[in-house]
Structure 1
């Protein structure tokens, strides 16, 4: 994950990056359970991924993406990232339905998506958004109520 530009020092970006790390970790558990044939663990691990993924993607879209989308230089990229959120949800639903062979694809697509955010969008947002816009990101995110299960409050 990104650690070179300092964007993790922005509260919401730090949150999203931490959530990315946790999503990768839980998806790794899912991948290993499928590879070992521990099918009894798959549904619970899919629940764990969803429990992290949905508040995360909802928060990104409600706050950071909504503010960045206003800049036409970001609109197409943001729309593509939102489409990837939908695609990841679809893959996860298929895995839940028994298509466990899709776990490797889900893992690959999740990691590629995270890399686009961590090494592209997040650093770009650091140089694009000002203080008032970061406050708006925080307000929009909070108003949408997508609370991360990683947050204690």
Structure 2
């Protein structure tokens, strides 16, 4: 998580960063289930990751990403991050299908890609957004993005940045 620029003090950015931590922790549980669990344990661990990941990526894409996409310098980067969301979903589905017989290489690839993706957001996109967006932009992001995802807690509004 980025701690050098203060972008985590922006409500939605702080929420996304906290969710990244939850997702990484759930991915660790997934690794352990794949290493020593049966098909039900793997399925439950995939369910847990998906329950955190899907609302998170939906809110990123419909809120922050949609507003940032209007600035041409962010379009390619946003497209790349959205493509990574799709890849992560496909990797999770492959892990689910494999169940207890999952190839450790597949799990390692998912974890590597997940961490790389989160790093690109936490240490690249989020600090850049803190600089690039102004108060009306943050108000718009806040309008379409609850302060907390359903898997994380009760929805509510978070203040933007002025």
TM range (shorter): over 0.9
| Aligned twin of 2:123 | 119
Counterpart mapping for 1:57-96 below 5 A: 57-96=57-96
The structural deviation recorded for 1:148 is: 3.4
**Where do residues 108-147 of structure 1 align in structure 2 (5 Å cutoff)?**
108-142=112-146, 147=149
Output the TM-score relative to the length of structure 1: 0.93
1:10-37 Cα distance to aligned partner (Å, 9 max, x none): 00001000100000000001112212x2
Match of 1:38 in 2: 37
Stretch deviating more after TM superposition (26-35 or 7-16): 26-35
Aligned to 1:23: 23
How many positions carry a matched residue from both structures?
A: 149
**1:138 aligns to what SS in structure 2?**
helix
RMSD, aligned α-carbons: 1.3
CA offsets per residue over residues 95-125 of structure 1, 9 Å max, x none? Answer: 0101622111111100000000000000000
| Runs of 4+ that moved beyond 6 A | none
The aligned counterpart of 2:152 is 150
- For the residue of structure 2 that corresponds to 1:98, the secondary structure is helix
**Deviation, structure 1 residue 152:** 2.4
In structure 1, runs of 5+ residues without a counterpart are none
Q: Is the 8 A contact 1:56 1:148 kept in 2?
A: no
TM superposition score normalised by structure 2: 0.88
The C-alpha deviation readout for 1:10-69, integer Å capped at 9, x for no partner, is: 00001000100000000001112212x212411000000000000000000000000000
Give distance in 2, aligned partners of 1:81 and 1:27: 19
Structure 2's unaligned 5+ residue stretches are: 156-162
